């Protein structure tokens, strides 16, 4: 921990008052597929959700719930079935999940959030769901980080230690996401829990602001899911004064959450279906932040750029083409582009570079594209991955 950040990363652990568990309920073949996260007390809650007009039943219910109560004490999550496009039965099934969890824990159903990810259009096998929920315990393991995965190849977690008013606090986050990643938001779920005391209104505004900079700036394949959800919970058991936007420690909290959400977003982008490389695009010197972010996302989302990165092809024209198509304010004669700090475009034309050397650079596991517009002071970032043959293989047979 240092004076500038006041937080540090640490091995995965749960904040004070949180419990978690996961089981194999039979929703997926031989994999953990059902789990929960619990707080000993009702926690202030905030959420952001898919913008897809077709919204899955659990996503819609949890969105309505958090908006109404601004609190959660438990979240139950399953993989394998999205419970999207399942009609009235899907809605009834979500209420059943709430009821079963609430009865088991002795809390109000209005304190139970529900999240699902998986195949769209197939009803949940509720007998297996009920049996699975009955098996869940108040443990403190990390099995939930595995149970929420679908086509992901690895878990995505981050844990921070932070001090507020001299009292130790923990912020723990975990996420899933690999395909259908094109926020507003992606096929992605993310959950961040803390024992910090943060006012509900502040928690929601913080999440909404930071989502624009993080999860909404990643793209894998240009598809937006029916089930996207990011939830924050803050149970206050660290026992410091509740934080709002006027609090002295608010900048510390904001900085920690920004790091947390950025790391989770980058993990999702790097684990895109079939991906072999993480692509980060930084747009500098834009007219405003909105245009900088729009341009960065346009470049990282370009199938031609993604394919060129996969093939280690230094085809810089694709970068400029996708930049121009974003319709932001630019002067083509001022644009510079670097790839992993090596100039490839200067003043809108080819820089002097070795094609062979640039191809070697493009074989790196992380590709950073810096675009300098030189017309303003705003900066924007976006993350994605390369487009590989394996992406097609995965998605050509997902349902089977």
282 is an annotated ligand-binding site residue: no
Nearest 5 degrees, angle CA 92-CA 94-CA 97? Answer: 115
In sequence order, what DSSP letters do the residues of 240-268 get, joined into one string? SPPB-TTSTTHHHHHHHHHHHHHHHHHHH
Indicate if 69 and 200 belong to the same structural domain: yes
Check whether 352 has a pLDDT greater than 70: yes
Catalytic residue among 50, 145, 151, 187: 187
What confidence tens digit (pLDDT) does each residue in 267-326 have? 988 887 677 899 999 999 999 999 999 999 999 999 999 999 999 999 999 999 999 999
The average confidence (pLDDT) of the chain is 92
305 and 216 co-located in one domain: no
Question: Does residue 176 have a known ligand-binding role?
Answer: yes
How far is Cα 209 from Cα 377, in angstroms, rounded to an integer? 20
| pLDDT(396) > 90 | no
- Which residue's structure tokens are 């993350």? 383
CATH number at residue 17: 3.60.70.12
**What domain count does the chain have?**
2
> Cα(21)–Cα(29) distance, rounded to whole angstroms?
19
HEC per residue, 8-73:
EECCCCCCCCEEEEEECCCCCCCCCCEEEEEEEEEEEEEEEECCCCCCCHHHHHHHHHHHHHCEEE
Within-domain flag for 134:
yes
pLDDT at 220: 63
Residues 56, 80, single domain; the answer is yes
Between 221 and 258, the higher pLDDT residue: 258
Residues 252 and 292 in one domain: no
Inter-residue contact 148 to 117 (CB < 8 Å): yes
Q: Among 122-126, 129-133, 215-219, whose mean pLDDT is lowest?
A: 215-219
Q: What tokens were used for 9? A: 């990363």
Q: Could you tell me if 195 and 279 are in contact, meaning their C-beta atoms sit under 8 angstroms apart?
A: no
Residue range(s) defining the domain that contains residue 51: 7-271
pLDDT in tens, 179-210: 544 444 346 899 999 999 999 999 999 999 99
Q: Is 150 labelled a binding residue?
A: yes
Is the distance from CB of 286 to CB of 365 less than 8 angstroms?
no
187 is catalytic: yes
Domain assignment present for 286 = yes
Report whether 400 belongs to an annotated binding site.
Answer: yes
Q: Cβ-count burial of 205 within 10 angstroms (0-12 exposed, 13-18 middle, 19+ buried)?
A: middle
CATH of the domain at 330: 3.10.20.340
């Amino acid at each position: 921990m240092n004076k500038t950040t006041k937080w540090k990363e640490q091995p995965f652990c749960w904040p004070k008052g949180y419990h978690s568990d996961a089981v194999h309920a039979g929703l997926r073949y031989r994999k953990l597929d059902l789990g929960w996260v619990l707080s000993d007390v009702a926690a202030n809650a905030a959420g952001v959700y898919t913008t897809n007009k077709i919204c899955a039943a659990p996503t819609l219910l949890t969105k309505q719930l958090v908006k109404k109560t601004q609190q959660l004490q438990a979240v139950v999550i399953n993989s394998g079935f999205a419970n999207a496009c399942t009609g009235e039965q899907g809605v009834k099934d979500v209420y059943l999940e709430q009821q079963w969890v609430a009865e088991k824990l002795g809390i109000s159903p209005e304190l139970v959030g529900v999240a699902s990810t998986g195949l769209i259009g197939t009803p949940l096998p509720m007998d297996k769901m009920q049996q699975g929920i009955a098996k869940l315990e108040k443990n403190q393991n990390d099995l939930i980080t595995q149970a929420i995965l679908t086509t992901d190849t690895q878990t995505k977690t981050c844990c921070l230690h932070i001090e507020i008013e001299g009292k130790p606090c923990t912020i723990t986050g975990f996420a899933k996401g690999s395909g259908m990643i094109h926020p507003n938001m992606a096929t992605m779920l993310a959950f961040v829990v803390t024992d910090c005391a943060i006012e509900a209104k502040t928690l929601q505004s913080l999440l909404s602001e930071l989502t624009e900079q993080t999860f909404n700036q990643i793209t894998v394949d240009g598809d937006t899911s029916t089930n996207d959800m990011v939830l924050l919970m803050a149970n206050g058991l660290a026992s410091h004064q509740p934080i709002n936007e006027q609090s002295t420690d608010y900048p510390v909290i904001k900085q920690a959450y920004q790091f947390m959400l950025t790391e989770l977003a980058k993990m999702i982008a790097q684990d895109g279906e079939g991906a072999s490389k993480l692509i980060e695009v930084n747009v500098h010197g834009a007219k405003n932040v909105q245009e900088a972010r729009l341009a960065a996302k346009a470049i990282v989302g370009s199938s031609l750029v993604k394919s060129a990165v996969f093939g280690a092809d230094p085809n810089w024209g694709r970068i400029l083409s996708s930049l121009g198509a974003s319709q932001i304010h630019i002067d083509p004669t001022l644009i510079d582009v670097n790839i992993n700090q090596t100039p490839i475009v200067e003043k809108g034309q080819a820089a002097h570079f070795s094609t062979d050397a640039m191809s070697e650079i493009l074989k790196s596991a992380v590709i950073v594209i810096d675009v300098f517009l030189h017309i303003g002071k705003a900066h924007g970032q976006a993350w994605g991955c390369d487009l590989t043959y394996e992406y097609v293989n995965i998605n050509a047979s997902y349902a089977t």
